[in-house]
């Protein structure tokens, strides 16, 4: 396939499926900027893989879905790595006595469920024990802990930051 043929097929493909790609990106992103980044990644993957895909519209549609989910998965893994890298900046939930007053002050700004989770962590409960007590899965506890740390960081910056 020549470069001109590849470009023509790509443009025709985007004419047919571009709206679907944009809607997918918007529905899976937190902001328009994230959606735009995701869309660009999908466009690049489509450009690379489209010449090897059968021109049958059904096959193209199935292939596009696989591409979008694959790109989204990589995109989210990258975001998770960035969040995990920033965890060292967040308050320690198992703080020593000197930090107890600060954590108590931060906890006052949290909803009751988050305060309960924070207290369980401070009392030394393991994640699987917390999951059992709260009636949720272990991955859900991990997610809530991540969110709790981010909330604490935001509250700290708002009330005690520079």
Q: At a CB cut-off of 8 Å and minimum separation 6, what does 26 contact?
A: 32, 35
**Per residue of the chain (162 residues), what is the pLDDT tens digit?**
788 888 999 999 999 998 999 998 888 887 888 888 889 999 999 999 988 888 888 888 899 999 999 888 887 776 665 555 454 555 555 444 446 777 777 888 888 888 888 888 888 888 888 888 888 888 888 888 888 888 888 887 777 665
Question: What is the CB neighbour count within 10 angstroms for residue 83?
Answer: 12
Q: Give me the pLDDT at residue 82, please.
A: 54
DSSP 76-125: HHHHHHHHHHGGGGSPPTT--HHHHHHHHHHHTTS-HHHHHHHHHHHTT-
Whole-angstrom CA distances from 65 to 8, 72, 104 are 21, 10, 47
Residues 6+ apart with CB under 8 A from 142: 127
Widest CA span in the chain: 69
Q: Six-digit token pair at 103?
A: 């954590």
- Rounded CA-CA distance 108/162 in Å is 20
Three-class SS of residue 63?
helix
């Amino acid at each position: 396939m020549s470069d001109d043929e590849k470009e023509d097929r790509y443009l025709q493909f985007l004419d047919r499926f571009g709206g679907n790609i944009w809607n997918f990106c918007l529905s899976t992103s937190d902001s328009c900027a994230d959606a735009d980044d995701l869309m660009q990644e999908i466009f690049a993957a489509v450009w690379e893989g489209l010449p090897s895909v059968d021109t049958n519209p059904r096959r193209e549609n199935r292939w596009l879905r696989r591409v979008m989910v694959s790109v989204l998965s990589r995109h989210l893994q990258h975001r998770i790595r960035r969040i995990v890298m920033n965890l060292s900046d967040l308050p320690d939930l198992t703080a020593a006595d000197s930090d107890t007053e600060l954590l108590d002050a931060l906890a006052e700004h949290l909803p009751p469920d988050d305060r309960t989770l924070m207290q369980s962590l401070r009392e030394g409960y393991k994640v699987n024990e917390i999951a059992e007590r709260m009636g949720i899965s272990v991955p859900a506890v991990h997610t809530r802990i991540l969110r709790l740390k981010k909330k604490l960081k935001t509250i700290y910056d708002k009330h005690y930051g520079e």
